[in-house]
């Protein structure tokens, strides 16, 4: 079945190409209208311009809008139906974390106040671990316990953690990086946890906003069927234009989640809280319903362990949320090379996860997302290619009022969706074309991920170390 997993990316980009081809056939159907020379006029009485008022036929416009709305409504409707079915499931063998089952099992039982133990996987994080621990210790609801999971650290990470007064767990013979280290630590922590003794997994390069833990504890207290609370992350300040690109991207992601009313897409690895019941269920189902080694919470094969764990929990019927009060600040990549390596791992990891889980109701939304990205690659490349062709094919610049109007609407969308990010984010959105080329960069990464996956090329981890405040080194 390995060949099937390797062909996931090709299947997705193939479907996207078919969709784009069908749309092109629909638009090009019928006899083409005879060409005509552009009109000429004077702008402000001094500027001679050529313009063309031609626009697509009404049937094409209606078809484009109709298909887009139909697809969006269809995906949202199917997702809601699947979510409702999971919540009402009574199948304890296939969905042991389904809310209806959990509520029935815990009815009339008091498991105590919600507490949170924080595990921080760390590999040579001396440049940022102190700030991360300080953000935890200054929470309005302090954690019950903080454990730094030190994995093959050769710098001052362990010393700084102990000086901060937190526990340190040093991994033993770990060859599976972050996922392997967390599996070792969770094997020590989970057996002693009650139903309300929750566990947070938090990256060492992340700082929590002040009310994160209090907000998560309140959600978990009010709903005993809730199995996990994910954070909403936004990018740290600094690192010039490349930093602002990433902050804009994260701001839009936050906005999307808020519009989904907190429904989780991915439980972010930057900071997420889990009930012990959820993590134990995942470990128990590894090698059965879920891929991975029996007894492991994290699948050590997965490149994107947070995405994989989210799909695992959804497969088991878990109820999860990413509420607006749980926000975190995470690092941004300081260079294009670092960004390339990070996104290549994300994209390829997401595709590999789909290959491992296959076509299941719980992966429907993720398949649609990948299909949308694949179509976006084709659409953006075609858009830029047509602009280049027009420039090369005409001796005079011709203005198209209809398409200028469409472009203004798109620009407005770029600005509105990053409004919460401040004026830097808004000016970058208003400039439009830099963000389009940033999107094209991510599209190339996406295609590289498909290429590597199809050829079964070995994936590399890139680790960014904060050597000093505002300074990074890639390893």
Task: Report the 10 Å Cβ neighbour count for 382.
Answer: 12
- Cα separation, 413 vs 435, in Å, equals 12
**Count of CB atoms within 10 A of residue 257's CB?**
20
- pLDDT of residue 463 exceeding 90: no
Confidence at residue 462, expressed as pLDDT on a 0 to 100 scale: 61
- pLDDT > 90? residue 215: yes
List Cβ neighbours of 118 (8 Å cut-off, separation of 6 or more).
136, 143, 145, 146, 147, 199, 200, 202
Write the pLDDT tens digit of every residue in 7-48.
888 888 888 888 888 878 877 776 666 667 788 887 777 788
Cα three-residue angle 178-184-189, rounded to 5 degrees: 115
Range scoring the smallest mean pLDDT among 23-32, 55-64, 308-317: 23-32
Measured CA distances, 103 to 87, 106, 124, 223, 320 (Å):
11, 5, 42, 9, 15
> What is the pLDDT, as a whole number, of residue 116?
97
Reply yes or no on whether the pLDDT at 393 is more than 90.
Answer: no
Instruction: For the chain, count helices (H), then strands (E).
Output: 16, 15
User: What is the band of 458 on the pLDDT scale with cuts at 50, 70, 90?
Assistant: low
Q: Work out the number of other CB atoms within 10 angstroms of the CB of residue 27.
A: 14
Note the pLDDT of residue 466. Answer: 61
Q: Radius of gyration over alpha carbons of the chain, in Å?
A: 25
The pLDDT of residue 313: 96
- Residue predicted with more confidence, 457 or 161: 161
Q: Which residue has the higher pLDDT, 99 or 15?
A: 99
| Three-state SS at 143 | coil
Find the mean pLDDT for residues 107-112: 87
Three-class SS state of 315? helix
Give me the mean pLDDT over the 276-289 stretch.
Answer: 96
Residues recorded for the chain = 475
| Tokens linked to 352 | 């590999």
* pLDDT exceeds cutoff 90 at 315: yes
**Phi then psi for 202, rounded to 5 degrees?**
-140, 135
Poorest-pLDDT segment among 64-68, 111-115, 289-293, 372-376 = 64-68
Residue 307 to residue 316: CA distance in whole angstroms: 15
At residue 464, does pLDDT exceed 70? no
Return d(Cα 9, Cα 11) in angstroms, integer: 5
Does the pLDDT of residue 461 top 60, yes or no?
no
Asked if pLDDT for residue 468 goes beyond 60, the answer is no
The predicted structure's pLDDT at residue 471: 59
- 444 confidence band (pLDDT: 50, 70, 90): very high
Q: Tens digit of pLDDT for each residue in 120-135?
A: 999 999 988 999 999 9
Share of the chain above pLDDT 70, in %: 94
Which pLDDT band, with edges at 50, 70 and 90, does 472 fall under?
low
Q: Which of 300, 287, 279 is nearest to 180 (CA)?
A: 300
With tokens 């921080």, the residue in question is: 120
Instruction: Give the mean pLDDT of the chain.
Output: 89
The tokens 């075609």 sit on which residue?
382
Provide the token pair at 75: 């995906």
pTM of the model as a whole = 0.89
Q: Would you say residue 151 has pLDDT above 90?
A: yes
What's residue 4's pLDDT? 65
Beta bridge partners of 41: 49
Mean pLDDT of 147-152: 95
Exposure string of 155-178, with b = 16+ CB inside 10 Å and e = fewer, is: bebbebbeebebebbebeebebbb
**How many Å apart are CA 277 and CA 284, to the nearest integer?**
10
pLDDT at 470 over 60: no
Taking the CA atoms of residue 284, residue 288, residue 293 and residue 297 in that order, the dihedral angle to the nearest 10 degrees is: -40
Dmax over CA atoms of the chain, in Å, equals 81
pLDDT for 475 beyond 60: no
- In terms of C-beta distances under 8 Å and separation of at least 24 residues, what long-range contacts does 80-88 make, across chains too? 82/361, 82/362, 82/364, 83/263, 85/361, 86/314, 86/317, 86/362, 87/317, 87/319
Determine the Cα angle at 366 with ends 199 and 412, to 5°.
100
Token pair, residue 255, equals 């906005």
Q: Which residue has the higher pLDDT, 99 or 52?
A: 99
């Amino acid at each position: 079945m390995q060949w099937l997993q390797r062909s996931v990316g090709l299947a997705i980009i193939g479907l996207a190409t078919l969709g784009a081809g069908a749309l092109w056939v629909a638009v090009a159907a019928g006899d083409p209208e005879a060409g005509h020379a552009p009109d000429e006029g004077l702008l402000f009485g001094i500027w001679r311009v050529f313009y063309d008022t031609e626009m697509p036929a009404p049937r094409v416009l209606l078809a484009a809008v109709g298909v887009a709305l139909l697809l969006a409504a269809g995906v949202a409707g199917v997702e809601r139906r699947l979510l409702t079915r999971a919540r009402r499931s009574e199948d304890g063998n296939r969905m042991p974390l389904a809310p209806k089952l959990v509520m029935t099992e815990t009815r009339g039982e008091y498991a105590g106040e919600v507490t949170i133990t924080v595990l921080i996987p760390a590999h040579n994080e001396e440049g940022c671990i102190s700030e991360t621990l300080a953000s935890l210790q200054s929470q309005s609801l302090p954690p019950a316990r903080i454990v730094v999971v030190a994995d093959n650290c050769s710098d001052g990470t362990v010393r700084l953690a102990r000086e901060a007064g937190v526990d340190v767990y040093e991994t033993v013979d770990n060859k599976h990086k972050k996922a392997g280290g967390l599996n070792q630590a969770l094997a020590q922590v989970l057996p002693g946890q009650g139903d309300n003794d929750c566990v947070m997994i938090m990256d060492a390069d992340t700082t929590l906003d002040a009310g994160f833990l209090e907000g998560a504890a309140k959600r978990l207290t009010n709903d005993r069927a809730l199995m996990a609370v994910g954070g909403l992350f936004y990018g740290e300040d600094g690192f010039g234009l490349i930093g602002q690109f990433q902050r804009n991207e994260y701001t839009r992601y936050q906005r999307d989640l808020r519009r989904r009313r907190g429904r989780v897409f991915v439980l972010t690895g930057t900071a997420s809280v889990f009930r012990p019941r959820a993590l134990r269920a995942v470990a128990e189902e590894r090698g059965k319903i879920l891929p991975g080694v029996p007894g492991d919470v994290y699948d050590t094969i997965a490149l994107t362990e947070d995405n994989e764990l989210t799909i695992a929990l959804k497969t088991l019927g878990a109820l999860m949320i990413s509420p607006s009060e749980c926000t975190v600040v995470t690092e941004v990549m300081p260079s294009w090379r670092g960004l390339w390596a990070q996104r290549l791992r994300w994209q390829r990891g997401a595709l590999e996860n789909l290959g491992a889980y296959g076509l299941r109701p719980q992966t429907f939304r993720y398949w649609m997302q990948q299909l949308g990205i694949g179509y976006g690659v084709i659409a953006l490349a075609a858009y830029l290619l047509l602009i280049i062709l027009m420039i090369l094919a005409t001796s005079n610049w011709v203005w198209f009022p209809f398409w200028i109007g469409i472009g203004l609407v798109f620009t407005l969308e770029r600005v509105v969706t990053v409004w919460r990010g401040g004026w830097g984010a808004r000016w970058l959105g208003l400039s439009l074309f830099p963000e389009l080329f940033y999107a094209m960069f991510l599209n190339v990464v996406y295609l590289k991920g498909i290429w590597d996956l199809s050829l079964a090329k070995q994936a590399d981890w890139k680790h960014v170390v904060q050597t000093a405040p505002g300074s990074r080194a890639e390893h």
